[in-house]
Amino acid sequence: MKQTYALIQMDIAFGDPQTNFRHAEEWIRKAVKTSTADTILLPELWTTGYDLTRLDEIADEEAAVTITFLKRLAKELNVNLIGGSVANRVGQATTNTLLVVSRKGDVIKQYSKAHLFRLMDEEKYLTEGNMDGRFVLDNQKSAAVICYDIRFPEWIRTHMVDETKVLYVVAEWPKQRIDHWRALLISRAIENQCFVVACNRAGTDPNNEFGGNSMIIGPWGEIIAEAGQTETILTGTVDVEEVEKIRATIPIYSDRRTDLYKLQ
């Protein structure tokens, strides 16, 4: 089954949700108008950016505003939305939560970032998630993770052992480590024999410059599409069924020695 993805590599207004909602809607509508996308991706923390010190003011209470926004556009435009991630306020805690909304307007997954990135002070302002990122979208077993999560191959493999074929990644990955971004994504695709669809942000905030380079990668590690560093919409079409052929060629899942793998 062929799937077309549109990755919205947008700049994010620091700590300004209203501006970011307007900006994201413009990009989503443009992606629908200029492509045949089945699924559109937004980047990590796209409503607020990394304005973490003001999350008490600008976080989205139970992600309600963002969910309403995504459901409206998904139904109107008949497109699936991997709605990036948002600062989600639940009680006294704020999580970095990814939202998946189907073309019917159903929220089919909420995943909160499991690994908080200390170099950007996430652990001071955010609460880590404790659930996996698995879901089914357009009848395909899929999974989604957020930014720093991709540095943990054991976490990614946990998502892939149940015949999952597509891994979605949303991020705000800094420019100075963009070589790591590329290498890690390609490695995750090869070692899990899956498609990786990864949307990073562009632009700057008061403390960081972000690297862009959103990517669509095939299960052999081949780069199907890659963006530069500026705002853009990256599109690409894949045949998801190729995963089965590749996994039959090199059967890494049946050859695993789980009796020897003891993680500490």
Question: Which residues are tagged catalytic?
Answer: 44, 113, 147
- Rounded to whole angstroms, the maximal C-alpha distance in the chain is 52
222, 252 in Cβ contact below 8 A? no
Q: Angle at the Cα of 95 (from 133 to 121), degrees rounded to 5? A: 110
In whole angstroms, what is the distance from residue 229 CA to residue 30 CA?
A: 19
Q: Dig out the tokens for 237 from the structure.
A: 């079409």
93 contacts 112 by C-beta, under 8 angstroms: no
Three-state DSSP string of 181-215 = HHHHHHHHHHHHCCEEEEECCCCECCCCEECCCCE
Task: Give Cβ neighbours of residue 33 (< 8 Å, ≥ 6 apart).
Answer: none
What number of other Cβ atoms are within 10 A of residue 118's Cβ?
10
